[in-house]
Amino acid sequence: MQADFVIVGAGSAGCAMAYRLSESGEHSVLVIEHGGSDFGPLIQMPGALSYPMNMARYDWGMKSEPEPHLGGRELATPRGKVIGGSSSINGMVYVRGHAKDFDHWAESGADGWAYSDVLPYYQRMETWDSAGHGGDPEWRGKNGPLHVTRGKRDNPLVTAFVEAGRQAGYQTTDDYNGEKQEGFGPMEQTIHNGERWSAAKAYLRPALKRQNCSLLRALARKVVIEDGRAVGVEVERGGKLEVIRAGREVVLAASSLNTPKILMHSGIGPAAHLTEFGIPVVADRPGVGSNLQDHLEIYLQMTATQPVTLFKYWNLFGKAMVGAQWLFTRTGPGASNQFESAAFIRSGAGVEYPDIQYHFLPIAVRYDGQAAAEGHGFQAHVGPMRSPSRGTVRLRSSDPNDAPRILFNYMSQPEDWEAFRTCIRLTREIFAQEAFKPYAGHEIQPGVALQSDDELDGFLREHVESAYHPCGTARIGRRDDPMAVVDPECRVIGVEGLRVADSSIFPRITNGNLNGPSIMVGEKASDHILGKETLPRSNAQPWMHPDWQKSQR
């Protein structure tokens, strides 16, 4: 079996590349994916999002090592083991990231990845469903494969959250993915006609209808390298090993946890670590598996004094009604992820652009689907966007079937604790505004008894959770940068014919959820792989708070 381009991983970036690399019909493309089908209501129904990420059938089931600064807790790190990758099990929240995130990428050596370079790719990939939604049509895409929309926003708590932000003195924004990210406003979702619109639906299915694109179900073990050139991928299928040959290039898009693992099994990574496992060193790249970043968050939960929350459906009969309505009409509460209001704010004066993100949810519930014992409630997920903590992905053994060792090193810097305490205090202030007076009861979590720095730190140590945004483990940089793994065209430094294009290449984590930026990487990398001119740079100027140096809001 062989193809011009062999892509490892049918996730967010891999699906986008399958679509773009096969688009002209001139090249054969083969996508290798270990996971199974994404058919079935639990993946396709947006309201059921807490199920697939907790199912072994769809998730790799990885965990972090005991985190030393979180009392030795091991945190779940779900990654999609299914067609569409994590875009088939995620929360369907769509955030491009702030313009300054990408400008920072360019400043740190990712030449050609500034905001003016990547904005045209965001526009190419989107179909922005603006009908009745407002938004910023000049900044959005009109006919890309990825449908982006907004929920109905008919729950009074969803609008109360935005109004409370305004009352607290913050900006509002009609489109955080447009000119102005900063402020409170509607949240966006990758949902189309009431169904999850994953990268598999947007990109892979249309690509597989072409003669020149195919999908192979197998576990990719390592890249086969001959005379310094990637010539194929060793896979395990039905208990047998075989090599899939690549006529032109191999592209790794297996996630920021599995991509570095595959690189290391292929002999590309920190030499001393590879030697430890008897793996011959092909390219000594100490950056492989380093620079691991993620977003942590807590949910601040309140009881609701009126029965306006989604808790009214949180019983057998209610869930059956919601499920039936969605199954037959693709409407109702099941047709939304229920994250319908958002905010991006700055933690203090002198912070140039937002570094705190909110997801608001009109029910008090955990990611594993456990509702708060208090009944009716609501919550804001909040966390800092640019933690200075860095972790690593390392091999556990020389067996490619073993999960990697993942240590995020969460909360390892004093700034992390300070930032989270600020998040809690700012959120309490927002929930105390007039807009929430008709609805807000008492604070469930953390609880008003916890006020001092030490009390809040104790709560954080036990309750912070990953927002599931790992990235950065094969970062992009200039070819003379010893810690860079790929150059600005996504080519692995030190090996010919091999590229990486997924969230591994992020030099620094972006502001918000990572699905949008991961797909964008797949889109832009495709042009580099095909040797095409990149899209013309945009002249659009994003909004920056005029008083950011002196004012927090």
Measured on CA atoms in the order 297, 303, 305, 307, is the torsion positive or negative?
Answer: positive
- Per the structure, the complete domain to which residue 328 belongs is given by 149-189+296-384+412-463
d(C-alpha 418, C-alpha 440), whole Å? 26
d(C-alpha 11, C-alpha 85), whole Å? 4
Does residue 446 have a cis bond before it (omega within 30 degrees)?
yes
Decide if 32 contacts 244 (C-beta within 8 A).
yes
- Among residues 463, 469, 528, 545, the one annotated as catalytic is 469
DSSP 3-state assignment of 385? coil
Residue 528: φ, ψ to 5°: -65, -45
pLDDT of residue 130: 67
Does the annotation count 104 as an active-site position?
no
Report the binding-site residues: 82, 90-93
pLDDT of residue 54: 87
> Which has the closest alpha carbon to 219: 402, 89, 76?
402
pLDDT of residue 129: 76
DSSP 3-state assignment of 334? helix
DSSP 3-state assignment of 86? helix
pLDDT of residue 3: 98
d(C-alpha 335, C-alpha 149), whole Å? 12
- Residue 420 belongs to a domain: yes
Decide if 233 contacts 223 (C-beta within 8 A).
yes
Report the binding-site residues for FAD: 82, 90-93
Q: What is the dihedral of CA 387, 268, 275, 403, to 10 degrees?
A: 60
- Residue 343 belongs to a domain: yes
d(C-alpha 528, C-alpha 13), whole Å? 14
Name beta bridge partners: 365: 371
d(C-alpha 255, C-alpha 33), whole Å? 12
pLDDT of residue 136: 84
d(C-alpha 408, C-alpha 158), whole Å? 33
- Residue 275 belongs to a domain: no
- Residue 256 belongs to a domain: no
pLDDT of residue 50: 86
37-68 as b/e, with b when 16 or more CB fall inside 10 Å?
A: ebeeeebbbbbbbbbbbeeeebbbebebbebe
- Residue 300 belongs to a domain: yes
Domain of 326, CATH number, reads 3.30.410.40
For residue 463, with 0-12 CB atoms within 10 Å meaning exposed, 13-18 middle and 19 or more buried, which class applies?
middle
d(C-alpha 339, C-alpha 236), whole Å? 39
For residue 191, with 0-12 CB atoms within 10 Å meaning exposed, 13-18 middle and 19 or more buried, which class applies?
buried
d(C-alpha 301, C-alpha 328), whole Å? 33
Let me know how long the chain is.
Answer: 553
For residue 528, with 0-12 CB atoms within 10 Å meaning exposed, 13-18 middle and 19 or more buried, which class applies?
middle
How many folded domains does the chain comprise? 1
Q: What is the dihedral of CA 1, 401, 12, 32, to 10 degrees?
A: 10
Residue 118: φ, ψ to 5°: -90, -25
> Which has the closest alpha carbon to 342: 403, 415, 430?
430
Element (H, E) at 319: helix 316-329
pLDDT in tens, the chain (553 residues): 899 999 999 999 999 999 999 999 999 999 999 999 999 899 999 999 988 988 999 999 999 999 999 999 999 999 999 999 999 999 999 999 999 999 999 999 999 999 999 999 999 999 997 666 678 888 999 999 999 999 999 999 999 999 999 999 999 999 999 999 999 999 999 999 999 999 999 999 999 999 999 999 999 999 999 999 999 999 999 999 999 999 999 999 999 999 999 999 999 999 999 999 999 999 999 999 999 999 999 999 999 999 999 999 999 999 999 999 999 999 999 999 999 999 999 999 999 999 999 999 999 987 666 777 688 999 999 999 999 999 999 999 999 999 999 999 999 999 999 999 999 999 999 999 999 999 999 999 999 999 999 999 999 999 999 999 999 999 999 999 999 999 999 999 999 999 999 999 999 999 999 999 999 999 999 999 999 999 999 999 999 999 999 999 9
- Residue 371 belongs to a domain: yes
pLDDT of residue 66: 98
- Residue 119 belongs to a domain: no
pLDDT of residue 367: 66
- Residue 228 belongs to a domain: no
> Which has the closest alpha carbon to 365: 55, 50, 51?
50
pLDDT of residue 369: 67
Q: What is the dihedral of CA 50, 55, 61, 67, to 10 degrees?
A: 40
